[in-house]
Amino acid sequence: MFGVVRVLLLGGALAAATLLGSSDSALAGLGQPSPWQLGMQQAAAPVMSDVIWFHDLLLWIITAIVALVLVLLVVVMVRFNARANPTPSRTTHNTAIEVIWTVVPVIILVVIAVPSFRIMFAQLNTPTADVTVKATGKQWFWSYAYPDQGKFEFDSLMVPDTDLKPGQPRLLSVDNEMVVPVDKVVRVQVTGADVIHAFAVPSFGIKIDAIPGRLNETWFKATKEGVYYGQCSELCGKDHAFMPIAVRVVSEQAFAAWVEDAKKKYAAGPDAAPRRAAEAAPAVSPMALAASTAAAPAPRTVD
């Protein structure tokens, strides 16, 4: 009986260790999710490296706690059942064990709290920013403004399935990407124009609400060039799933060139966004239609 339990526990621990060991490389995508992904997307910013490290630490701690509780339960069931132990002890207090089961959890919580607070402060304290981008969530797309690069602003809409070019991920690609330089601190000021949205890019370890009438702030420092995708992460209406975020990280020279281009391209300001949003959105399904009819204001009755 004990032999079987021990083999099972060992097998479980080995499987967990295998998953933990490989969670950062083969199974997770860089900048976008990958099929059958386990664990989080690869980090492309220092804060996200810390988040992944902290996640793995927690996984070890909870795995150890679950294994310990399971072993204790099995011991109790086997050694202290009515048949194996017909005359039970009448013990009600044991000072030593009570001190241990109070102090050990406190130590575990402190071990968790220290890095947890450290990462939270790192996320919330923006270092001196090299570039500031203002991201505005709208139903259902994002607008990006570069106040220090010439005050231009443009809309970023999802590429519909029918227009996808090879290599463009579905539901994540956009027509106008947010472009930032590599290895520079980018401050993102986030707000909402209509309802609450949320600006989130997993590889940078950022997620912050876009609230109308409020300017939230987050930051990241991308360490690798490439395109990093995120999504609106606050239910904001029928096309919530179709307002992705795409951040292109380029060299400093390429960024300067892009800014010069963008100043001319977007000089007119965000163009007829609602019309383009309607074009980009998938055809209205009967369910969405039903939902929008249901949401229409019903005649009020006085009760």
DSSP state of 267: T
Structure tokens at 248: 């292109």
Q: How many CB atoms lie within 10 A of CB 78?
A: 13
Site track 42-81 with Cu ion (rule: CB under 5 A), x = hit: ----------------------------------------
Does position 197 interact with Cu ion (CB under 5 A)? The reply is yes
Does position 138 interact with Cu ion (CB under 5 A)? The reply is no
Distance in angstroms (rounded) separating the CA atoms of residues 201 and 253: 24
Cross-strand pairs, 218 = 188
**Span near Cu ion by CB under 5 A; candidates 34-42, 59-67, 93-101, 231-239:** 231-239
User: From the list 179, 232, 245, 280, which residue makes contact with Cu ion (rule: CB under 5 A)?
Assistant: 232
Contacts 24+ apart (CB under 8 A), 111-120: 111/61, 112/57, 112/58, 112/61, 115/50, 115/53, 115/54, 115/57, 116/54, 118/50, 119/47, 119/50, 119/51, 119/54
**Span near Cu ion by CB under 5 A; candidates 2-10, 14-22, 58-66, 189-197:** 189-197
Is residue 181 within 8 Å of residue 251, measured between CB atoms? yes
**Span near Cu ion by CB under 5 A; candidates 26-34, 61-69, 182-190, 230-238:** 230-238
Closest C-alpha among 188, 54, 81 to residue 134: 188
**Span near Cu ion by CB under 5 A; candidates 3-11, 86-94, 226-234, 256-264:** 226-234
Tell me how far, at minimum, the Cβ of 12 lies from Cu ion, in Å: 40
Site track 142-171 with Cu ion (rule: CB under 5 A), x = hit: ------------------------------
Residues that bind Cu ion in the complex, under the rule CB under 5 A: 197, 232, 236
